[in-house]
Amino acid sequence: MGQLLPYDSLLVPFAYFFYFKKDKPDADQRKYLEEFFWRMSLSFRYSSSSESRLAQDIKRIDSILNNERPDYSDIEEARKAIEESYWGCHTSVADYAQELTEDTGNIPSHLEMYIDYERMGRDMELGGDIFTIETGYQEVHIFWSH
């Protein structure tokens, strides 16, 4: 699931929706589900203490089941989290790892060839330090998860 969803807990609201909605969502429901997905993903809502947030999000899914747009007024912190957590668009995760390393310390020139930025970036992503969204060829948006 980690390859499909930024947070495994995000599966719960979608499973709830499809438990009650046996056939495909209609156009409005699909639009609301897509909005729900992006709002929850980009707000880092499930990065910690997800259990307390699931009940609120189940209510949002209930609205979607009723063909109503959910209320997101309580997620103003999402906008702030995005602004504080966004570290820009890079050509790759390795590019970001290299920039971060070079900006935070001096690496002696005789050691530079030993640093594997691809693995470093992958470790940051797999370790949950960063969340990435690829929007196109060599367009990787980096968000800090902490």
User: Percentage of the chain with pLDDT > 90?
Assistant: 49
Could you tell me the residue ranges of all domains in the chain?
A: 8-71, 85-144
Alpha-helical runs (H) found in the chain:
11-20, 27-42, 50-65, 76-85, 93-104, 117-126
pLDDT band (50, 70, 90) for residue 1: very low
Nearest to 59 by CA among 98, 17, 24, 105: 17
Q: Give the CB-side neighbour count of residue 142, counting CA atoms within 13 A.
A: 21
Query: Residue 78 and residue 76: Cα distance in Å, rounded?
Result: 5
Mean pLDDT for 136-144 is 90
On the question of pLDDT at 31 being above 80, the answer is yes
On the question of pLDDT at 145 being above 50, the answer is yes
The structural architecture, per CATH, of the domain 85-144 is Orthogonal Bundle (1.10)
* Beta bridge pairs of residue 133: 141
Query: Residue 18 and residue 33: Cα distance in Å, rounded?
Result: 11
Whole-model pTM? 0.52
> How far is it between the farthest Cα atoms of the chain?
63
Query: Residue 112 and residue 70: Cα distance in Å, rounded?
Result: 50
On the question of pLDDT at 29 being above 90, the answer is yes
Distances in Å between the Cα of 73 and the Cα atoms of 17, 33, 78, 99, 112 are 21, 17, 10, 36, 48
